[in-house]
């Protein structure tokens, strides 16, 4: 059998590439831009934090929203230390009032909105159907599917014409794998929500697309591996998990005008795991 070699890290993979002014002047709300802490010494960057940092590096003014406001503020501090512009908001998107207040505060802080990045997702409860309890199902759906719907419902009327909405889903929405039934179902449901947002937004040139990460080496990913060790034994075509930066660059493409004629589409960032 041919030995499997890990795909080498590029400067983009490691988060070391310089900004290229791909989002100059843009005003973007990143929902889920904080980061869970598993080990503060060894934690890699998470998807939401990488997106927030990258968007700012590319010239955007960013509002970082998160249920954990201290984590959002840490992301903002990293952005401002690098010379970027950012503002933190505390919001729990499972709460309708929080979503309404978040969108309005972001619009005022930025002087408008032309980008909405939805990086949210929880997985709670026990495995398989027999372990699925109604409260866990409802909690998961409230955050993973109803929350993004509320964000889009509130943001769409105030987004500038030509704005971009980007969802973060999971390959668990394409194929069964997490064994958390509500998580898989909620991530699959995002596809329908995204297509509807794309339909409504098309009247004003607003695009909606989805990034679908595979296995990613993030603090949340490491926590998931702790509960399901088989995750780390998955044979990945490129021989390693993705980095949060690699997911962020896919989101950057959809957020930028480089994808100006692309809407209602899904991009898997999984080294082919869902297709090979």
Instruction: Give Cα 241 to chain centroid, integer Å.
Output: 16
Q: Which one of the listed residues 55, 137, 167, 183 is annotated catalytic?
A: 183
Which of 211, 27, 221, 202 lies closest to 118 in space, CA to CA? 211
Q: Are 109 and 63 in contact (CB under 8 A)?
A: yes
Residues 125, 130, 133, 134, CA torsion sign: positive
Spell out the residues 6+ positions from residue 90 whose beta carbon is closer than 8 angstroms to its own.
65, 66, 67, 68, 69, 72
Q: What are the percentages of helix, strand and coil residues in the chain, rounded to 5?
A: 45, 15, 40
Q: In what order do the strands lie in the sheet with 85-90?
A: 85-90, 61-66, 27-31, 113-118, 159-168, 207-213, 266-269
The answer to whether residue 183 is catalytic is yes
Q: Are 35 and 74 in contact (CB under 8 A)?
A: yes
By annotation, the residues acting in catalysis are 183
């Amino acid at each position: 059998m041919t030995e499997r070699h890990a795909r080498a890290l590029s400067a983009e993979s490691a988060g070391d590439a310089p900004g290229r002014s791909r989002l100059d002047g843009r005003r973007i709300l990143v929902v889920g831009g904080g980061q869970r802490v598993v080990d503060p010494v060894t934690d890699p960057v998470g998807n939401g934090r990488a997106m927030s940092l990258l968007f700012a590096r590319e010239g955007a003014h960013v509002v970082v929203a998160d249920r954990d406001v201290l984590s959002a503020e840490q992301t903002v501090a990293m952005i401002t230390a690098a010379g970027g512009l950012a503002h933190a908001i505390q919001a729990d998107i499972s709460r309708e009032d929080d979503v309404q207040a978040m969108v309005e505060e972001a619009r005022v802080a930025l002087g408008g909105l032309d980008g909405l990045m939805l990086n949210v997702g929880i997985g709670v409860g026990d495995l398989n159907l027999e372990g699925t309890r109604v409260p866990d199902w409802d909690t998961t759906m409230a955050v993973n599917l109803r929350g993004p719907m509320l964000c889009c419902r509130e943001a769409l009327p105030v987004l500038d014409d030509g704005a971009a909405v980007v969802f973060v889903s999971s390959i668990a929405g394409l194929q069964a794998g997490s064994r958390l039934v509500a998580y898989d179902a909620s991530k699959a449901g995002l596809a329908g929500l995204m297509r509807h947002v794309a339909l409504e937004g098309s009247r004003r040139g607003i695009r909606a697309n989805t990034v679908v990460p595979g296995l990613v080496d993030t603090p949340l990913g490491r926590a998931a591996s702790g509960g399901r060790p088989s995750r780390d034994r998955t044979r990945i075509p490129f021989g390693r998990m993705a980095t949060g930066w690699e997911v962020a660059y896919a989101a950057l493409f959809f957020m930028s005008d480089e994808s100006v004629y692309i809407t209602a589409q899904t991009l898997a960032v999984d080294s082919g795991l869902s297709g090979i």
